[in-house]
Amino acid sequence: MDKYEILKRYFGYDTFREGQELLTDCILNGRDVLGIMPTGAGKSICYQVPALLFPGITLVISPLISLMKDQVQSLNHAGIHAAYINSSLTENQIAKALQYAAEGRYKIIYVAPERLETASFLWFVQRVEISMVAVDEAHCISQWGQDFRPSYLKIVRFVEQLPVRPVLSAFTATATGAVKEDIICVLGLRDPEILVTGFDRKNLYFGVETPRRRDEFVADYVRGHSGESGIVYCSTRKNVEQVHEMLCGMGIPAARYHAGLSAEERKSSQDAFIYDVKPVIVATNAFGMGIDKSNVRYVLHYNMPQSMENYYQEAGRAGRDGEPSECILLYSPQDIMVNRFLIENKEQREDSFDEAQLQAIRERDEERLRVMSFYCSTTDCLRDYILKYFGEYGGGDCGNCSNCSGEFEDVDMSEEAAVIVRCIRELGGRYGINVVAGTLTGAQTAKLREYNVKRFASFGTLSRRRETEIKKMIQKLLQDGVLAQTADKYALLRLAPLAKEVEDGRRRVIMRVPSRARASVASDGRKSAQGQASQGRSRKGRRSDVLNSQGLECFEALRALRTELAREESLPPYIVFSDKTLVDMCVRLPFTREEMLQVSGVGEHKYEKYGERFISRIKEFTGGVKGKYYFG
Ligand code: ADP
Ligand code: ZN
């Protein structure tokens, strides 16, 4: 078999994704590799395909017990013999697994780094051929990273003890220069092929919303996406409890997760979520490491996280299957204060830092927080902002974020316009846009103090607005000829004749604003943007763009079957088939084995297990006629 046959037969995919083929080839040629790829890019295929073509065994070193279990389950379901060895097994189970491993029963073995130096493990590896050691989450080896794990340093000595040096492959989603250098150096990669694929997650929609009531927003959103799986991140346990209670009160099956719960409670919450018993989970950032659930359709942030790194990691848990998914951050300026407080009171895990180091860490955290808060207020493309932060060039307007989704909304701004006109009249036309906007928001800058604008009655009359919003309104009034500017370098704001009509309400001022800004621009009692965002209409490439209403019904029927099968086997549903695979079934409507094997994600082994039942459900649904189209 060649690599393409392996990909098709076991994983059900026709083609490799960007980067996967290159890394697979290098590994098969015996060359070390370092793959830096974002979550969901498909790192595991890069080592699993070569593992099946190598004569010997592949060891995969992974820090996360839950992830190992998940991966091994998936592999077994694809018909690949794999096992894991970590502290969740008893000594007896480990002994047995190693015995089987020594007999060559497994092609791929996942192992926790702590195990590598145990006598029994060393006994086993002396007896077999180890073709490759794949290091997952390789950034854990770097002391520069956030997740440094001292046990990862054991990998180096372990590899040295092997009779023959295997191919080393390392994978991570963290790409800063220092971490990359550390991985290469500390792991001792030999002339590695280094592949960095783009950090862009094209299937994710990014949004920032500033709703007046976050609870309502979450309630509407979750209701509008019922049946879909989602994560709601909150910054405090208290918020988790509140939001969780609210959702449960609405009859939505939701789980909760935070460090204040017992280990059993956390485990059962996590399982309920993974097995789609409770498709929604409300959690602090303690949740998510090692969660590989591929069909998470949305990640809402109830509060602003502390850094872009955190945000992108948490939001990135949406849409690992490549299907359209949404990441929406609910922002309120108060979040900055809360986060600043959290930073100042952060417990340092290692007490070995001296005061100067602690100060440096605090400054770094402050800077990260600043960058994060700019994300929440920028009017530029959000995807661009993220990619630039991670050192890539974005492509300008992505058309799939709340700042450039092209959804606009007409909002009546007549009252605000009248307030602006009155302010300019009061200031006697002696100031430019910055002073006018600053006066209206009641800003406390040195310059405004110097001008003593506090004495004006207009001071702070639009304090509930952001300065940028007021400036936009002023721009609009300039465009409409309500205001004028002096042509000198001072560009002083003056009233045009039309201003009188605005001031006494004879002339309405309607502004076209991007619909996300609507929530904040129209924040006093008028209808907000929540409804629209929560319906998620007209997002690029949503499932509902691919499937028409018939197709969506078909999808639901197949999803129900998937749940049934998963329950029978106590498996997470996404291990049976991903959402993406189900969508492809609805598009192709396979009636035969051959047709079913064309579906993305259906390999031979899975066909044997589930193929017939899905075919018969599809036949049932369509009445056995393919004439009708389910997509469009
Ligand atoms: P990562 O470890 O990089 O986060 P995974 O290995 O978990 O990503 O893969 C993410 C998802 O992409 C999985 O659902 C996987 O089945 C799917 N996938 C991986 N490679 C391909 C491919 N070549 N074609 C289609 N889907 C793929
Ligand atoms: Zn964009």
> Tens of pLDDT along 546-563?
778 888 889 999 999 999
State the amino acid at position 429 in one-letter form: G
209 C-beta closer than 6 A to ligand 1: no
Does the pLDDT at position 226 exceed 90?
Answer: no
* Distance in angstroms (rounded) separating the CA atoms of residues 190 and 33: 9
Helices (H), 16-168: 20-28, 43-53, 65-77, 91-102, 119-127, 154-161
628 pLDDT band (50/70/90 cuts)? low
Chosen CATH of 409-512 out of 1.10.3720.10, 1.10.10.10, 1.50.10.10, 1.10.357.10:
1.10.10.10
Task: For 377-397, give one letter per residue: b (16+ CB within 10 A) or e.
Answer: eeebbbbbbbbebbeeebeee
Q: Is 189 helix (H, G, I), strand (E, B) or coil?
A: coil
Q: Is residue 425 packed enough to be buried (19+ CB in 10 Å), middle (13-18) or exposed (0-12)?
A: middle
**Average pLDDT value for the chain:** 86
pLDDT, position 437:
92
For a ligand 1 pocket test, name from 9, 10, 13, 296 the mutation site with the most ligand atoms within 8 angstroms of its C-beta.
Answer: 13
Work out the average pLDDT over 181-193.
Answer: 93
- Fold assignment, 3-196: Rossmann fold (3.40.50)
Work out the average pLDDT over 453-458.
Answer: 92
Give the closest residue (by CA) to ligand 1 atom 10. Answer: 40
Does the pLDDT at position 490 exceed 80?
Answer: no
Nearest to 12 by CA among 561, 544, 588, 545: 588
Asked whether this chain's domains 409-512 and 543-628 adopt the same fold, the reply is no
Does the pLDDT at position 533 exceed 60?
Answer: no
pLDDT, position 530:
37
Domain 543-628 has CATH 2.40.50.100: no
Structure tokens at 331: 């922002």
For a ligand 1 pocket test, name from 320, 576, 583, 606 the mutation site with the most ligand atoms within 8 angstroms of its C-beta.
Answer: 320
Ligand nearest to the CA of 173: 1
574 C-alpha vs ligand 1 centroid, how far in Å? 12
Share of the chain above pLDDT 90, in %: 54
Give the closest residue (by CA) to ligand 1 atom 2. Answer: 43
Beta strand 493-495 pairing with 483-485 = antiparallel
Closest ligand 1 atom to residue 294 Cα is 14
For a ligand 1 pocket test, name from 5, 11, 314 the mutation site with the most ligand atoms within 8 angstroms of its C-beta.
Answer: 11
User: pTM to 2 decimals?
Assistant: 0.67
Does the pLDDT at position 113 exceed 90?
Answer: yes
42 C-beta closer than 6 A to ligand 1: yes
317 C-beta closer than 6 A to ligand 1: no
pLDDT, position 342:
77
Chain-centroid distance of CA 193 in Å reads 27
8 C-beta closer than 6 A to ligand 1: no
pLDDT, position 520:
41
Ligand nearest to the CA of 18: 1
459 C-beta closer than 6 A to ligand 1: no
* Distance in angstroms (rounded) separating the CA atoms of residues 62 and 573: 23
Closest ligand 1 atom to residue 38 Cα is 3
* Residue 273, H or E segment: helix 263-274
401 C-alpha vs ligand 1 centroid, how far in Å? 23
Share of the chain above pLDDT 70, in %: 91
* Distance in angstroms (rounded) separating the CA atoms of residues 2 and 5: 5
Which range is least confidently modeled, 146-160, 199-213, 463-477?
463-477
pLDDT, position 357:
72
pLDDT, position 521:
41
The CATH number assigned to the domain with range 204-407 reads 3.40.50.300
542 pLDDT band (50/70/90 cuts)? low
Model pLDDT for residues 90-112, shown as the tens digit of each residue: 999 999 999 999 999 999 999 99
Which range is least confidently modeled, 26-40, 167-181, 346-360?
346-360
Work out the average pLDDT over 110-131.
Answer: 93
pLDDT, position 356:
75
Model pLDDT for residues 263-310, shown as the tens digit of each residue: 999 999 999 999 999 999 999 988 987 777 889 999 999 999 988 888
Model pLDDT for residues 49-83, shown as the tens digit of each residue: 999 999 999 999 998 887 888 899 999 999 999 99
Which range is least confidently modeled, 142-146, 412-416, 589-593?
142-146
293 C-beta closer than 6 A to ligand 1: no
16 C-beta closer than 6 A to ligand 1: yes
197 C-beta closer than 6 A to ligand 1: no
330 pLDDT band (50/70/90 cuts)? very high
260 pLDDT band (50/70/90 cuts)? very high
Q: How is the chain split into domains, by residue range?
A: 3-196, 204-407, 409-512, 543-628
Does the pLDDT at position 350 exceed 70?
Answer: no
Give the closest residue (by CA) to ligand 1 atom 20. Answer: 42
Does the pLDDT at position 190 exceed 70?
Answer: yes
Ligand nearest to the CA of 385: 2
